[in-house]
Structures are given as C-alpha cells and as structure tokens.
C-alpha cells in the first residue's frame, strides 16, 4: 500500500516539473503558432545559469531564481522579433518555418554549450538538495516538492494574470483570433514578445529545478523537448488545461510503469498511450485542443 | 526600419551559426597525396551527445599517447621515425553517426588504422565498416562482450570484456567481508555495455548465492525516483547498477533524497572518473566498482616510462587523475607501434600491409605497458579482446579509488556495510 502511494506521489512530483515546461510551451504555441523545438535547450540553459550562479557567484541558485527568470525573460523579449521575422516570411507556413528555425536554434544552443562549457556532467547543490519530508512512511524529496509547489503557484498566478489583467486579456484575445484582436487595437507584436518572454522565463526555471534534481550537461535538453511534445500533443494542441492534465498523466504513467511493469517499458507504454490519444481523442485528453 | 533591423539580425545569427557549424566539422578534407611520411590515425569517439564525457576521456588517452610519441620523434621503424597525426571524428554518441564517421575516415581521409570508440554500441556499428574496407581498429574503451562474440577480424579491444571483470566485486563481497550480503537489486541502462554489465552482476550474484530481488533494464534518461522507491521497499543489501557516470550520480542523488541506503552501492562504469567523485563529494565514498587498473599500479612503459610517470603526465596535461579507460586508451597506440615494428610497414599503408598488420596484432604480446600486459585472444568467445588482465574490486574512500579485492592484491579491507550517507 505504501508503495502505491509512494509511486503516486513520485508521479505527481515529476508531473509538476513537466507542468512548468508545458504551460509556457502551450502558450507560445497558442499565441505565436510556434512549436519551439528548442524548448529542451531553454531547460539546459536555465540549468547552466543556475550552475554558474553557484560556481562563480557562490550563491544558492534556488534562492536567486527570480534573477534567472528575469534574465531569460529579457533575453527572449529582445530575441523574439528575430523569430517573428522568420515566421512572417510571406507564402510560407508559419508553423513549419518556426519548427525549422527553432530546430536550428536548438542545435546551435547545444553546440555552443558544448564548445563553451565542455563535456563535463555537473551538479547543482541547493539548500533543499539533501532534504526530504517523511509522512507516514512516504518520502517526499524536498526539491521535487518545491518544484511542484512552484508549478502550482505559477499556474494559478498565470490563470489570474490571463483573466484579470489587461495584458492577460490581450494575450487570450490574440490566442483566439489574431486578426480580430488586431482590429480591436491589440498590438499583436507586443503580445507575442511578452508571451515568448514568459515562456522562456518559465522554462529556465524548470531548468533550474531539473538541473538540481538530476545533473547538468549540454545534452540534457533533448529528452525534455520530447516530453514537451508529448504533453502538448496528448493535452490537445494549445489547450492550457489539457497540457496540465497531460503533464501529470505523463508523470504518473512513467512512475507506475517503472514500478509495476518494468523500466524497460516506460517509453513503449508512453508512446502507445500517445498513439491511442491521437487515434481516439484527436483534440487531446480533455477534448479542448485544436 | 524595425523590420529591416530584425532581418539583419536574423541574417547575422544565421551566419554565426553557419560559421560555428563549419568550424565544428573540423578536420581537413584535402585529398592526401600518395606519399606521406607520417601515420594518419583515425580516432572515432563520442565528442558530443549523451556520452560526450566518456568520449573525451578516451580522446585524452589517445591524444596524450600521440603527443608523447611525437615529442620523442615518432614511431621508429628501422632507421627512420614517423610522426603520428590523429584525425578526430565525432560519433555524436550515436551508432549510425559512428558508422558514417568510419566510412568517411577510411574513404576520404584514408587513415592507416583507427583508435576506436568510447561506447560499445558505436564500436559494434563501426566494426562492420572496417570489415568491408579492411582497416584495423583497436578500441581502448569498449567493454561489451557482444563485440567479441561476433568475431570481427579487424576489431580489437584493450579492456577485458565486462563479463570477465564485472563478477569480481560480488566475489569480494561474497568471500571477503564479515557477513556476506544476502540480497541484491540490479539495474542496467539499455545500451550494449550497461546491459552486459547488469547481466554480469546477475550471473555473479547467482553464482555466489546472493538472492536477486529485482533485475530491471531501463531506458537511458529515465527518472530513477520511482525505481529507487520500489527497490527501497524490497530492502536489498546491495544495489548494483550498470551504466555510466551520469546515471550513477543520479541514482545516488535519488537514493539520498528518498532516504534509501543499501549496505553498499556497486556501480560500473564511471565511478573512477573525476566527475563522479567531484560532483558527489562525500556521497561518492564507499561506492564499489570493478576495474582492471588504478593509478596506484606500477608497470613499466615504453612510451611514458612507467604507470606513475604516465599518471603525472596526464594530471599535468588535463588537470585530473586518469581512470582506467583513459589509461587503456593511452596504452592502445603502443600495440599498433609494436605490430608496425614487426611488419616494418611505412606509411601510407596499403591493403596488403593492413592485412599483415592485423596478423601482427594477433601475434604481438607486450609484457608491460602503463596499463598492464596486452595480448589479444585469437579464438573463443572473447576473440580479439585483451583478456589477460586481472579484475580488481575497488571502493571509493575519501575520494580515492582503493583496491579492496581480490585478497592477494588489496590495499585496504573492503568496507561493508558502509556508513549511511547522512552520517558522513
């Protein structure tokens, strides 16, 4: 019985980290029509940012996460027009152009990280690293709990932001229909830049947690790109709630399969699941996607 | 104006990307003249991708050998000495890319022979290409027994296969500690080397009468938390893992965060690498593993002088202690040197000379290199593998790898059960 609860908890806690990636990824898709192939590399860069904060500035990177988020947000805000100009090229499919461009970007980031920082596996130590919470025989690693709590706070904060603020409403309007939103006086370009900045900030934060829980190296991003794709497709393209549900489901499936079926079958079962979702629920598990 | 600005920026970025990509490809593509007075040696290993760390461990070994040989004038054949020029190819930790790299090495770079990949997976993809073009290769790293079972004529290996070495730590635990472990859980990552390691652990555990509570092969990049939770419930005396340093690090971290502490962790390969010890600090202590070499051994060596001198040279060159893979790679070039001396073939080698070289590699026996004696098996299940070395059990103690078994050669007694991570 304890093992079932522990497995459930493990799944929920890793799902929390996936939520952080999925929320921004889905939003970027909804507003900008881009499927960012470089999502994993934003995770990797976030993890490296945390590592360098720890190594060069000697501070606990987890306490300085706002600095990392702001830096990444600002960098993305500056960079977004470049991406936009690629998407806007006439007579080309925006989604395809973005996919090709971000694919190149991901290769570039990975190559640059390998060249600049080398091949070593690195470790981030935070004040939560060695801590865990024990409740009735269930062990909750503190870092993962913190990541999940953050994911929940961010998601709620985001919902409030999208529903209660002017910018939030503008983002939702742009996500719904760009042309009409433009006619209503919403600056589509500015909304897109804001969204891209939020997305990069969130993903870098996920990177800080992932780097602390696992390890940091230039190649760590790829698997999270795969997970992000899984979450967004299973959740229904562009569906916010669907992505959150899919992120949790992804964590739970991975956790239960590795305990009760065998580690060898994790990916087989995950992608079999995705296959059936696409076959029978083409709008995602909650039926809210495109 | 704004639009033009961003287009310009886009152009600029693409130029930078293109420049980096071109620079990254490296190597010269100039066609080589018929005549050259140096040996062109291909190195295929993982310089990027998931195994970039280990790939660079092998690169260091090969590179230091070439640099040292060149400093001494080169490979001496008769009256004349020939410099060694290494041509690197990145297999990106991917067997397919490795096979492509081998093809390119042979057909466009026209290398004389090849120093082989870090991973067993890439080695098995490269080997058939070498059979086709008849170019000999020695891998100073790959340890999967599956390579040797296929009896590739042109592929050799310096490190004994893991089914010859992996059983040693369990033999030490079964025979040389106060109370023998009763149970074990075994995890292996799903690649040819790590899987073979897990199999070797399982076979050894069964032979020694240690009960196997769990045996699971998991995909690379798995989150180990759920698996460790399940293993914690089984409460084994030993957790044995076949994988590389990254997985071992993550398993130790996951175990600590879940409060799981077996009586000992047994891990292979990667606990001997500086990264493992540096990243985990005290938590890396008491982890047990298998090896065929440690920096404490002292062999005579024709190129470096001795094991000790090699270790010093490597420490100066790369700033960290070499491990057994790095050492084996540094010794690998010497086998080619000995075989070349035997057939007196000067570069560039033609097909007939390469055939002779393979034959010479089979016959050559070096009594002492910095890594130990080298002699390739010429028949049986370990065809072309250097099977002569004794396996050692090591345990990390205060950040150093200490030989704790077998009894005749141990430097310290094995610590078992080990103190929990929380009380160190």
Q: Using pLDDT thresholds of 50, 70 and 90, give the confidence band for residue B31.
A: very low
B218-269: pLDDT as tens digits = 988 889 999 999 999 999 999 999 999 999 999 999 999 999 999 999 999 9
Asked if pLDDT for residue B308 goes beyond 80, the answer is: yes
Q: Using pLDDT thresholds of 50, 70 and 90, give the confidence band for residue B22.
A: low
What Å distances lie between residue A199 and A15, A26, A190, CA to CA?
18, 9, 14
Interface touch A108/B20, C-beta < 8 Å: yes
**What pLDDT was estimated at residue B104?**
94
Interface touch A264/B217, C-beta < 8 Å: yes
CA B390 to chain centre: 17
Question: CA B172, B175, B181, B184 torsion: positive or negative?
Answer: positive
Q: A144 is in which domain, residue-wise?
A: 2-220
Question: Which residues of chain A are within 8 Å of residue B215 when distances are taken between CB atoms?
Answer: none
**What pLDDT was estimated at residue A286?**
81
3-state secondary structure at position B294:
coil
Q: State the DSSP code for B422.
A: G
CA distance B112 to B162: 29
**What pLDDT was estimated at residue B32?**
45
Is residue A215, in this structure, part of any structural domain at all?
yes
Is residue A164, in this structure, part of any structural domain at all?
yes
Quote the strand ranges of B103-250, DSSP E.
Answer: 113-115, 137-139, 155-157, 183-189, 211-218, 238-242
Average pLDDT over residues B33-57: 90
**What pLDDT was estimated at residue A31?**
81
Interface touch A139/B229, C-beta < 8 Å: yes
End-to-end CA distance of chain B: 64
Give Rg (Cα) of chain B. 23
User: What is the nearest CA distance from B194 to chain A, expressed in angstroms?
Assistant: 13
Q: Cβ contacts of residue A24 below 8 Å, gap of 6+?
A: A198, A199, A200, A201, A202, A203
Nearest residue of chain B to residue A2 (CA atoms)? B233
CA distance B8 to A277: 43
Nearest residue of chain A to residue B222 (CA atoms)? A263
CA distance B25 to B37: 25
CA distance B298 to B118: 25
Asked if pLDDT for residue B3 goes beyond 70, the answer is: no
Question: Which residues of chain B are within 8 Å of residue A3 when distances are taken between CB atoms?
Answer: 229-230, 233
Q: Which of B7, B245, B258 sits opposite A132 (nearest CB)?
A: B258
User: What is the nearest CA distance from B108 to chain A, expressed in angstroms?
Assistant: 25
Average pLDDT over residues A95-118: 92
Is residue A245, in this structure, part of any structural domain at all?
no
- Check if the beta carbon of residue A72 is closer than 8 Å to that of residue A109: no
Residue closest to B141 by CA, chosen among B386, B396, B403? B386
Interface touch A85/B249, C-beta < 8 Å: no
Geometric angle at alpha carbon B92, from B322 and A68, rounded to 5°: 85
Average pLDDT over residues B399-411: 91
Supply φ then ψ for residue A129, to 5 degrees.
-50, -50
Average pLDDT over residues A225-249: 88
Instruction: Let me know if A160 is exposed, middle or buried by CB neighbors in 10 A (0-12, 13-18, 19+).
Output: exposed
Asked if pLDDT for residue B71 goes beyond 80, the answer is: yes
CA distance B238 to B236: 5
Is residue A61, in this structure, part of any structural domain at all?
yes
- Check if the beta carbon of residue B100 is closer than 8 Å to that of residue B338: no
Question: Which residues of chain A are within 8 Å of residue B190 when distances are taken between CB atoms?
Answer: 264
Average pLDDT over residues B128-141: 96
Is residue A20, in this structure, part of any structural domain at all?
yes
Do the strands B305-306 and B365-366 form a parallel or antiparallel pair, or are they unpaired? unpaired
Q: State the DSSP code for A14.
A: H
Question: Which residues of chain B are within 8 Å of residue A115 when distances are taken between CB atoms?
Answer: 20, 24
**Structural domains present in chain B:** 38-160+296-375 (3.40.50.2300), 164-291+391-423 (3.40.50.2300)
Question: Which residues of chain A are within 8 Å of residue B253 when distances are taken between CB atoms?
Answer: 123, 129, 213-215
A21-40: pLDDT as tens digits = 988 888 888 888 788 999 99
Q: Which of A286-290, B119-123, B139-143 has the lowest mean pLDDT?
A: A286-290
Question: Which residues of chain A are within 8 Å of residue B7 when distances are taken between CB atoms?
Answer: 85
Asked if pLDDT for residue B26 goes beyond 50, the answer is: no
Q: Which of A6, A118, A213 sits opposite B229 (nearest CB)?
A: A6
Interface ipTM above 0.85: yes
- Check if the beta carbon of residue B169 is closer than 8 Å to that of residue B197: no
Interface touch B245/A121, C-beta < 8 Å: yes
Q: Which of B47, B218, B279 sits opposite A264 (nearest CB)?
A: B218
Is residue A253, in this structure, part of any structural domain at all?
no
Instruction: Let me know if B311 is exposed, middle or buried by CB neighbors in 10 A (0-12, 13-18, 19+).
Output: buried
User: Domain tally for chain A?
Assistant: 1
Asked if pLDDT for residue A13 goes beyond 70, the answer is: yes
Instruction: Let me know if B62 is exposed, middle or buried by CB neighbors in 10 A (0-12, 13-18, 19+).
Output: buried
**What pLDDT was estimated at residue B9?**
64
Q: Cβ contacts of residue B16 below 8 Å, gap of 6+?
A: none
Is residue A252, in this structure, part of any structural domain at all?
no
Is residue A52, in this structure, part of any structural domain at all?
yes
3-state secondary structure at position B50:
coil
Please count the helices (runs of H) and the strands (runs of E) in chain B. Answer: 14, 17
């Amino acid at each position: 019985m304890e093992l079932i609860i522990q497995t459930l908890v493990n799944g929920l806690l890793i799902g929390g980290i996936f939520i952080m990636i999925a929320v921004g990824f889905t939003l970027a898709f909804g507003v900008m029509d881009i499927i960012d192939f470089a999502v994993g590399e934003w995770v990797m860069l976030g993890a490296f940012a945390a590592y360098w904060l720890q190594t060069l500035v000697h501070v606990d990177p987890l306490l300085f996460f706002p600095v990392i988020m702001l830096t990444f947000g600002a960098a993305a805000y500056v960079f977004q027009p470049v991406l936009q100009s690629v998407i806007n090229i006439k007579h080309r499919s925006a989604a395809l152009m973005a996919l090709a461009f971000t694919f190149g970007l991901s290769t570039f980031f990975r190559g640059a990280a390998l060249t600049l920082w080398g091949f070593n596996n690195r470790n981030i130590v935070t004040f939560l690293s060695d801590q865990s919470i024990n409740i009735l025989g269930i062990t909750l690693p503190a870092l993962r709990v913190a990541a999940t709590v953050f994911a929940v706070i961010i998601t709620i904060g985001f919902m409030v932001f999208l529903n209660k603020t002017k910018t939030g409403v503008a983002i939702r309007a742009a996500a719904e229909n760009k042309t009409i939103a433009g006619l209503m006086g919403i600056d589509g370009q500015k909304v897109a830049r804001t969204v891209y900045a939020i997305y990069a900030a969130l993903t870098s934060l996920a990177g800080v947690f992932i780097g602390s829980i696992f390890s940091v190296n230039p190649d760590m991003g790829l698997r999270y790109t795969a997970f992000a794709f899984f979450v967004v497709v299973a959740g229904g393209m562009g569906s916010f709630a669907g992505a959150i549900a899919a992120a949790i489901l992804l964590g739970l499936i991975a956790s239960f399969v590795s305990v009760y079926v065998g580690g060898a079958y994790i990916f087989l079962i995950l992608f079999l699941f995705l296959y059936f979702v696409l076959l029978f629920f083409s709008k995602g598990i909650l039926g809210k996607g495109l | 104006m704004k639009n033009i600005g961003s287009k310009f920026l886009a152009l600029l970025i693409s130029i930078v990307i293109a420049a980096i990509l071109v620079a990254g490809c490296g190597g010269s593509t100039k066609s080589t003249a018929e005549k050259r007075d140096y040996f062109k040696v291909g190195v295929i290993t993982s310089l990027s991708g998931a195994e970039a760390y280990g790939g660079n461990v092998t690169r260091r070994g090969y590179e230091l050998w070439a640099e040292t040989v060149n400093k001494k004038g080169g490979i001496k054949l008769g009256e004349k000495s020939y410099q060694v020029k290494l041509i690197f190819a990145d297999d990106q930790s991917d067997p397919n890319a490795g096979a492509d790299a081998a093809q390119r090495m042979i057909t466009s770079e026209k290398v004389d022979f090849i120093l082989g990949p870090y991973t067993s997976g890439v080695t098995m993809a490269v080997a058939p290409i070498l059979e086709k073009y008849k170019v000999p290769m020695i891998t100073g790293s790959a340890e999967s027994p599956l390579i040797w079972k296929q009896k590739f004529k042109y592929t050799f290996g310096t490190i004994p296969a893991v089914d010859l070495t992996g059983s040693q730590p369990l033999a030490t635990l079964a025979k040389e500690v106060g109370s023998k472990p009763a149970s074990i859980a075994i995890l292996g990552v799903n690649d040819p080397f790590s899987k073979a390691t897990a199999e070797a652990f399982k076979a050894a555990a069964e032979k020694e009468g240690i009960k196997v509570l769990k045996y699971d092969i998991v995909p690379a990049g798995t989150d180990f938390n759920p698996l460790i939770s399940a293993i914690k419930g089984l409460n084994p005396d030993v957790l044995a893992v076949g994988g590389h340093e990254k997985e071992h690090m993550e398993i130790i971290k996951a175990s600590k965060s879940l409060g799981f502490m077996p009586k000992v962790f047994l891990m292979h390969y990667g606990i001997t690498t500086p990264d493992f010890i540096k990243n985990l600090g005290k938590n890396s202590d008491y982890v047990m593993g298998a090896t065929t070499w440690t920096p404490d051994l002292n062999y005579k060596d024709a190129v470096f002088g001795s094991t000790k001198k090699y270790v010093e040279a490597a420490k100066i060159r790369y700033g960290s202690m070499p491990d057994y893979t790095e050492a084996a790679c540094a010794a690998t070039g010497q086998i080619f040197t000995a075989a070349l001396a035997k057939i007196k073939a000067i570069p560039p080698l033609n097909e007939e000379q390469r055939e002779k070289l393979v034959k010479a590699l089979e016959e050559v026996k070096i009594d002492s290199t910095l890594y130990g004696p080298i002699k390739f098996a010429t028949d049986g299940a370990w065809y072309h593998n250097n099977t002569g070395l004794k396996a050692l059990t090591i345990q990390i103690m205060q950040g150093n790898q200490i030989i704790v078994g077998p009894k005749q050669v141990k430097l310290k007694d094995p610590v078992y059960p080990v103190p929990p991570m929380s009380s160190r």
